[in-house]
Amino acid sequence: MEDHKIVQRNLALQREWYGEPLGDRVRRLVVAFNVSQAQLADVLGISAPMLSQVMSGRRAKIGNPAVLARMIMLERKILTPDVATGAPEALQRALDDVRESKPTVSRDSLPVNGDESVAYPVLRRVADRVELQQAADLLHEDFPAIAELFRRAIRAAGQR
């Protein structure tokens, strides 16, 4: 198969497996964290040439699940309030946390380090405080954990 067809096939596989081409995801991380591809590769625990091959579609997948887990961790950290400000020290702290992480990946877990606060800004973007409170009230009896998550998102908004 010629190179162009291989790349197109790999990009199609990435869309199927990861929701979009990995190059798009990596470029967003490079921009969000203001790092080079080589620096990002170091944080993810992958060689720079391997990351380049995955980004360009010359390789279809990331073979090491821990590398993918770190990528997901970084994507989620973008949503945290301190990283979202773009403050260099917050960006570096997030990169260091992910670099030093030892994520485990299983069928039943995602490597998010239990940091539910990443959900708060997302919840506040889709619903205002009144809507979140109404949803929490409706869900309280049958889904108390989800109701409490909504209430914590409301409280976190008040602390800003």
Domain identity same for 11 and 86? yes
Residue 129: both structure tokens together: 């405080």
Confidence at residue 112, expressed as pLDDT on a 0 to 100 scale = 44
Confidence at residue 124, expressed as pLDDT on a 0 to 100 scale = 82
Confidence at residue 115, expressed as pLDDT on a 0 to 100 scale = 60
Q: What is the pTM of this model?
A: 0.65
Confidence at residue 88, expressed as pLDDT on a 0 to 100 scale = 95
Number of Cα atoms under 13 Å in the Cβ half of residue 67: 17
Confidence at residue 126, expressed as pLDDT on a 0 to 100 scale = 84
Confidence at residue 114, expressed as pLDDT on a 0 to 100 scale = 52
Nearby residues of 120 by Cβ (< 8 Å), 6 or more positions away: 81, 152, 153, 156, 157
Domain limit, last residue, from 100, 124, 139: 100
Residue 122: give the domain boundaries.
116-156
Confidence at residue 111, expressed as pLDDT on a 0 to 100 scale = 43
Confidence at residue 159, expressed as pLDDT on a 0 to 100 scale = 60
Mean pLDDT, each 10-residue run in order, the chain (160 residues): 89 90 95 96 96 94 90 92 91 95 66 61 85 92 88 78
Confidence at residue 152, expressed as pLDDT on a 0 to 100 scale = 87
Rounded CA separation 70/98 (Å): 6
Domain identity same for 88 and 142? no
Confidence at residue 42, expressed as pLDDT on a 0 to 100 scale = 97
The CA-to-CA distance between both ends of the chain, in Å, stands at 55
Long-range contacts of 96-101 (CB under 8 A, 24+ apart): 97/73, 98/43, 98/44, 98/70, 98/73, 98/74, 99/42, 99/43, 99/45, 99/70, 101/69, 101/70, 101/73
In a domain, 111, yes or no: no
In a domain, 123, yes or no: yes
- Contact indicator for 47, 41 with CB cutoff of 8 Å: yes
